[in-house]
Amino acid sequence: MKLMGLALISILTTAHVAQAEVIQVPEDCLALQSTPCLMRASQNELLKIPNSLQTLHLGPRSIIKITQIDLQFEVELLDGTLFFEQNLEKLKSAKLNGITVPKVSFFASREGARLKILNSSKFLLSEYDLGLGREGGHELAKIDFLNKKDLISYLAPFFAGKRSLVEYLKSHEAAWRREFTAQNSTQTKVLRRSIASVEEDEKQLLARKIKESQDIKKVRETFFYRTFYR
């Protein structure tokens, strides 16, 4: 599978780069709805998917493979960056590199075997190691809520310039603050439960020590009593 992926990348990166901004293999496979459809963007490109009304934003030199069966839509990101703008009313399900994604728009980037997916409504960044799961699938490495600094750092490559990035961040500021508050609340609850658990463990340990001390005292008293009244 890995060798096949490398071969596909080789084909797309060497074929007719000067003739088209989006190289498609087979030719015009997107318009003809021929699947699988391999595409490489030479610059930032916006693609409308026929029938499903889904929109894909490809970053420069990004390579994807699209498979579409009815309204079950699957994209494989082979290299680069991708913003998937989902039309929820027209889509039954969507997968990215075999991973079922929530019905929200998301940002994705791939470098080597590491795939990152950012949920645009929850601001959660999931990182997957491809080829490590069952039958060469995927394995979730970690998932984190992105603070403002990390969010800006991750999103920057997806936008053509600072102005468009700032506009996007401003339009999502309220949503990010809500999720930030919710994440803090959840973490506080987890921390409190952890502290309570530690305190309970300490209480139980102290109770055991007291009981052990009392048991030892009883044994000593019993021994003294039996010895003294022999």
Q: 93 pLDDT band (50/70/90 cuts)?
A: confident
What are the tens digits of pLDDT across the range 121-131?
A: 899 999 999 87
Q: Which of 119, 121, 122, 114 is nearest to 97 (CA)?
A: 114
Q: What pLDDT sits at residue 183?
A: 80
Question: Is residue 168 predicted with pLDDT exceeding 50?
Answer: yes
Q: What pLDDT sits at residue 48?
A: 81
* Residue 173 CB burial class (10 angstroms; 0-12, 13-18, ≥19): exposed
The torsion angles phi and psi of 139, rounded to 5 degrees, stand at -140, 125
Structure tokens at 125: 């960044």
Higher pLDDT, 79 or 135: 79
**Whole-angstrom distance, CA of residue 105 vs CA of residue 154:** 15
Q: What pLDDT sits at residue 151?
A: 93
Q: What is the pTM of this model?
A: 0.70
Q: What pLDDT sits at residue 89?
A: 65
Give CA separation, 147 vs 10, 83, 179, 181, in Å. Answer: 37, 20, 10, 11
Question: Is residue 18 predicted with pLDDT exceeding 60?
Answer: no
Q: What pLDDT sits at residue 19?
A: 38
**Whole-angstrom distance, CA of residue 184 vs CA of residue 174:** 15
Higher pLDDT, 33 or 211: 33
Residue 49, C-beta contacts closer than 8 angstroms, at least 6 positions apart: 30, 55, 56, 66, 68, 73
Query: Which residues face 95 on adjacent strands?
Result: 74, 100
The torsion angles phi and psi of 169, rounded to 5 degrees, stand at -65, -40
Query: Coil, strand, or helix at residue 59?
Result: coil
Q: What pLDDT sits at residue 73?
A: 78
What are the tens digits of pLDDT across the range 193-215?
A: 655 565 566 667 776 776 676 66
Q: 160 pLDDT band (50/70/90 cuts)?
A: confident
User: In the predicted model, what is the mean pLDDT of the chain?
Assistant: 77
Q: What pLDDT sits at residue 62?
A: 93
- Lowest model confidence (mean pLDDT) among 47-51, 144-148, 153-157: 47-51
